[in-house]
Amino acid sequence: MSRQFDVVVIGSGPAGYVAAIRCAQLGFNTACVEKWLSDSNKPVYGGTCLNVGCIPSKALLDTSHKFYEMQRHFADHGISAEQGSIDVAAMMGRKNKVVEQLTKGVAGLFRSNKVTGISGAGALLGKGRVRVTSADGSEEELSAATVILASGSEPSTIPPTPIDHELIVDSTGALEFDAVPERLGVIGAGVIGLELGSVWSRLGSQVTILEALDDFLPALDRQMARESLKILSRQGLDIKLGAKVTGSRTSKGKKKTVTVSYESGEGAGEAVFDKLIVAVGRRPVSDGLADPAAGLAIDERGFVEVDEYCATNIPGVYAVGDLVRGPMLAHKGMEEGVMVAERLKGKKTQVNYELVPSVIYTHPEIAWAGKNEDELKQAGVEYSTGSFSFAASGRALAANDTDGLVKLTVEKATDRIAGCQVIGASAADLLQQIVIAMEFGASAEDIALTMFPHPALSEVVHESALAVHGHAIHKANRKR
């Protein structure tokens, strides 16, 4: 006889574990199925984000940034220190401890919220039926009124550079290097490529990033993209745009290397690396997620098809997170998980897909939400902009952290804020102030008339709002 639940969630990444916890909080008897196992064959929750994604990469980014600051900027503060060295094993050990603490935290949250964790690979058999296959091959069937699919995503690959997990690795492998590579290649100048490239560049690698697109960070408007490229290039990242990788070959000598061939506007080129990271995006994990007889609608790219409330074509079956349309971001999946749970209880919760914040955790951080200048122009919307540089911030100057700026886009007819882009220290946190304001339909004037603490980095946001109408205090305003 199968075990019965009100809700079964397949996957315990941010979308899945949040959905499971919120369902349990709302009174549903909830189970969460997760196939991830630790080295000691114990269930590990948290999915890609906690285990091999957001959290471990940020741990390495923070460690490498401290090392970079010590080498490059401590002297600016009058701090004398030896050149120093990086203990990669210790750095990885710290990263692993952070991951372990957080994954154990999810298990603790399951216990406190009475979510039943089930170890194994879950597959939808049909409406209200889930098969769980454990690591030893045994099977169990679960039944539930509602099934939430949250199996997440995995790194994409490209034929010219097959992953060998030694010289050529994906984003997971790039979190496990046992030494700093002398020459590091990265394919893809997106979020993952820039973050991982930054980690190893700060630690001493000569990093070359090959990006097939001619435009850098196309989600940003051109001014902000140019500023980001300038800052990251100054830090030592060699970013080659319009470089389409055509092949690779590995050496078999004493010191193994990988040679990458690519085509660019300058013709054919080659580059030799000690390690190569393939960071060309992610794809949904939908293979084997449902029995073909279940009839789950999956598009040609592997995404489960859902409506605006994450309902699939099968009654009582929902899909959330990286498995469905929209940006592959943990916080987007979390909000979808909450939405599905609350709608099961009769609430009218929705996700505002127009305000999904995006962040690249380089230093300075790059963050954006809403419509940028280029998008408003293409849509034929009359707009105004206001910007302010961190270089004019007293707090940023005191911290010796003055790269970047805040830029607001505002609908001219209503003065409502349409979007915000930030390059700078704590950009993710500064952006969130504007995301909250936009959620409540705030105008640039609303932000301009709000009191901000001094001295604080947030004053850059305040001044950018003042600048929309030419009222900035701490810079010369454009004539209007």
pLDDT digits (tens, 9 = 90+) for 432-474: 999 999 999 999 999 999 999 999 999 999 999 999 999 999 9
**Based on the domain organization, do 38 and 79 belong to the same domain?**
yes
Does 88 map to a domain?
yes
Higher pLDDT among residues 28 and 479, named by residue: 28
What is the DSSP-derived secondary structure letter of residue 130?
Answer: E
In this prediction, residues 328-345 reach a mean pLDDT of 98
170 close to 177: Cβ distance less than 8 angstroms = no
Q: How confident is the model at residue 4 (pLDDT cuts 50, 70, 90)?
A: very high
The total domain count for the chain is 3
Pairwise pLDDT comparison (221 vs 480), residue with the higher score: 221
User: What distance in Å separates the CA atoms of residue 225 and residue 232, rounded to the nearest whole number?
Assistant: 11
Question: pLDDT confidence of 424, banded at 50, 70, 90?
Answer: very high
- Nearest residue to 46 via CA among 310, 339, 321, 365: 321
CA angle, 337 then 340 then 343, to 5°: 145
pLDDT over 90 (residue 39) = no
Average pLDDT, the chain: 97
- The Cα 61–Cα 66 span in angstroms is 9
Same-domain status, 195 and 215: yes
The residue-averaged pLDDT of 177-187 equals 98
Kindly report, residue by residue over 45-103, the tens digit of the pLDDT: 999 999 999 999 999 999 999 999 999 999 999 998 877 899 999 999 999 999 999 99
User: 161 in a domain, yes or no?
Assistant: no
Single residue among 280, 296, 313 that ends a domain in this structure:
280
Residues 265, 294 within the same domain: no
CATH number of domain containing 72: 3.50.50.60
14 and 150 share a domain?
Answer: yes
CATH number of the domain encompassing residue 433: 3.30.390.30
Query: Is residue 478, in this structure, part of any structural domain at all?
Result: no
> 229 CB contacts (<8 Å, ≥6 apart)?
216, 217, 239
Report the pLDDT value the prediction gives residue 233, as an integer from 0 to 100.
Answer: 98
Write out the two tokens for 394: 């007293």
Give yes or no: residues 222 and 126 share one domain.
Answer: no
Query: Is 363 part of the annotated catalytic residue set?
Result: no
- On whether residue 358 sits in a domain, the answer given is no
d(Cα 309, Cα 330) in Å, to the nearest integer?
17
Q: How far apart are alpha carbons 150 and 132 in whole angstroms?
A: 14
Half-sphere exposure of 95 (CA within 13 A, CB side): 27
**Is the pLDDT confidence value at 173 over 70?**
yes
Q: Which residues contact 66 (CB under 8 A, 6 or more apart)?
A: none
Q: Verify that 194 and 96 share a domain, yes or no.
A: no
Whether residue 475 is contained in a domain is answered as: no
Q: What pLDDT, on a 0 to 100 scale, did the predictor assign at position 342?
A: 98
In a domain, 112, yes or no: yes
Pair 49, 96 in one domain: yes
93 lies in which domain range?
3-155+283-353
If asked whether residues 139 and 20 sit together in one domain, one would say: yes
pLDDT at residue number 1:
64
207 is a domain residue: yes
Which pLDDT belongs to residue 480?
63
Asked if residue 229 and residue 100 are part of one domain, the reply reads no
Residues 289, 272 share a domain: no
Q: Give the active site residue among 73, 77, 454, 469.
A: 454
Per-residue pLDDT reduced to its tens digit, 211-253: 999 999 999 999 999 999 999 999 999 999 999 999 999 998 7
- The residue among 237, 259, 280 that closes a domain is 280
Inside any domain, residue 480 = no
Which of 353, 372, 391 corresponds to the end of one domain?
A: 353
Q: Are residues 144 and 57 in the same domain?
A: yes
Residue 177 and residue 70 in one domain: no
